[in-house]
Amino acid sequence: MNSNKKIVIAAIVMLLAVFCVMSACKKNIANSGDGEVVVVTDENGVPITDENGEAVTVVLDTTIVDVTNENGELVYDEDGNVKTSVVYISKEVGIPVTDENGKAVTNARGEVLTTMIIVPPTTGGPVVTELPVTDGNGNVVTKPGGETVTYTMVYTTSPATPGDNSANWGSSYGGSGNDSFNDTAKTPDGGFVAVVQANSDDGSLKNLSVKSTPAAVVIKYDKDGRLQWQKYLPSNNGIILSSVDTDSSGNIIAAGYSKSTDLGVQSYGDYDAVIYKLNSSGDIQWIRSFGGSKTDGFYSVSASPDGSYIAAGITFSSDGNASDAGAVGSSKAIIVKYSSSGDVIFVRSFGGNGDTFNDVKTASDGSIYAVGAFQSGALFRSRGRADAGVVKLSSGGDTLWVKQYGGSGIDNFVSVTPANDGGCVIAGKSNSSDGDLASLGNAGSFDAVVVKYNGDGSFGWHTAVKGYFDEEFNAIEATDDGYVAVGSSCSSNRDLKAVGNRGGSDALVVTFSNGGSLKSIQSYGGSRDDSFGGVCVLSDGQIIACGSTYSDNGDLIGSKYLSSGSASMGMIARFK
């Protein structure tokens, strides 16, 4: 063998040392030692073929291990058990040696030379690739015009492993239908409560005797993440609870909307806004409905320091107990304040057709911040297809100020939290690059944005998390030293480069300083779509994030119930 050939082969062997593995088929591995047939690929993800043009494969062995986070800490489930995972074991495999033209090298006897490499199992998402068709001698087959004949290989990578995040507890909830956690809130005992929107009557809900869907379920966890109780709210036509909060006594207040007529309250029309008060044990204290003959809904609820409750959302009605909202021939964003016993204290409406409040929070002085999306031009002059807006009210319902935020695109405020130093901090998304977003620009489709307003309504600061594709924030809460926002991302570059993307959308947990500087970004999920829609901060500073997932791998490994990929599963996790 001449020296030039030796150099080429040496370079090839060095390249092969970094080869990765792609699963030829995806399946659930249940027992330690089960094998998985995988395709050997080069560093670019292209399958390596033998002299016959067939992809080189190897069977990897597996073992069961405890799941740990990036800090090496064990990850627990809702039963207090350590999550476990099946992982693949690296394996030595022989591959053909090829020359600089990609042809197999043979010895004097015509036998193909091979070299041994260690195949380390890696993770990633679904892969579709075109491979050349070769004849029995490894020659590429071409069409009469000289075009290479190819075939398509579709395969997935080996199951995504838990991500580089600080999650030390996680749980899934649901069955064969589409299920999700919509919101979560801390409780005075150090634990937390969450609300589920479920379309299943099996899996997690098999013992709840679900009468109709969507089913509303309230779940209480203790400070260690153990499930204490779950309460199904029965109905004859479904209930969706969008939001949950707790008061200083541990009472739980949840709000949403329903078409049901058997809740024990007035049913006014199509969808009515509903609000539930439960005690700390999950017993219903009272239920109230709000609306008229058209569609009405609450999207958020907040417990006020004076013992009252504030609900916000949208109404299309001008009759029933929504008559004071004045939505004649259109819709309006609404705020309703209830006493601790469920009596309406006041109703306030804003905007016009297509306007809505997505979230509401009360500050320590009782003032109210409500945020949403506005497109009618009734509250302020529209700049684009939809503008984000924030309204501040006094505890008595007087409007203190209104602020508009946006550009010529679509801008939406989704969540708000009282600021640590007064005012409010808001999270949402935008695809504008002008107007109020001119200094931030736009890096792709939608960018996730966080905006601070001072107590007097003056602008404080704003920042964004950007990738090439869609990013959004769905919820935000104050921490001891800043803020945490949760949502989702489809990108793996720019601000998301450090965490990458494991397939579809990944759930995000992002922290900011009091001044709006980015502190940390963590992703959570698997190789399919994952998203967080609710967040709370526990008394010990740990973060609870909840949402939905289509993944059955990655950070969902070890969960009691897993998505089939065709229907979503609720997911909830705790981060340090």
3-state secondary structure (DSSP) of residue 256: strand
pTM for the whole structure: 0.79
Residue pair 21/12 in contact (Cβ under 8 Å)? The answer is no
Alpha carbons 323 and 328: distance in angstroms, whole number: 9
Lowest mean per-residue pLDDT among 27-36, 156-165, 278-287: 27-36
Is 405 within the bounds of a domain? Answer: yes
Q: CA angle at residue 507 from 502 to 509, to 5 degrees?
A: 120
Peptide bond into 214 cis (omega under 30): yes
Is 298 within the bounds of a domain? Answer: no
Q: Does an H or E element contain 9, and which? A: helix 3-16
For the chain, how big is the Rg over CA atoms in Å? Answer: 28
Which one of 157, 191, 224 terminates a domain? Answer: 157
User: Sorting pLDDT into bands at 50, 70 and 90, what band is 138?
Assistant: low
Which one of 157, 173, 208 terminates a domain? Answer: 157
pLDDT for 68 equals 82
* 472 phi and psi angles, rounded to 5 deg: -155, 150
User: Sorting pLDDT into bands at 50, 70 and 90, what band is 83?
Assistant: confident
pLDDT for 67 equals 81
Is 293 within the bounds of a domain? Answer: no
Mean pLDDT confidence for 116-139: 53
pLDDT for 327 equals 77
Is 279 within the bounds of a domain? Answer: no
Tell me which residue of 309, 239, 235 sits closest to 274, measured CA to CA. 239
Which one of 114, 135, 157 terminates a domain? Answer: 157
Of residues 153 and 235, more confidently modeled: 235
pLDDT for 24 equals 30
* pLDDT tens per residue, range 273-284: 999 999 999 999
Q: Give me the residues paired with residue 253 across strands.
A: 245, 277
pLDDT of 183 > 80? The answer is: yes
Mean pLDDT confidence for 204-233: 96
pLDDT for 45 equals 59
Is 207 within the bounds of a domain? Answer: no
Tell me which residue of 252, 255, 301 sits closest to 279, measured CA to CA. 252
Is 128 within the bounds of a domain? Answer: yes
Residue pair 557/75 in contact (Cβ under 8 Å)? The answer is no
Query: Average pLDDT over the chain, rounded to whole?
Result: 86
* pLDDT tens per residue, range 493-512: 999 999 999 889 999 999 99
Q: Which two tokens stand for residue 235?
A: 């109905």
Is 513 within the bounds of a domain? Answer: yes
Range(s) of the domain holding residue 514: 351-474+482-524
Is 425 within the bounds of a domain? Answer: yes
Mean pLDDT confidence for 66-79: 83
* Overall number of domains in the chain: 2
What does the H/E/C string look like for 450-510? EEEECCCCCEEEEEEECCCCCEEEEEEEEECCEEEEEEEECCCCHHHCCCCCCCCCEEEEE
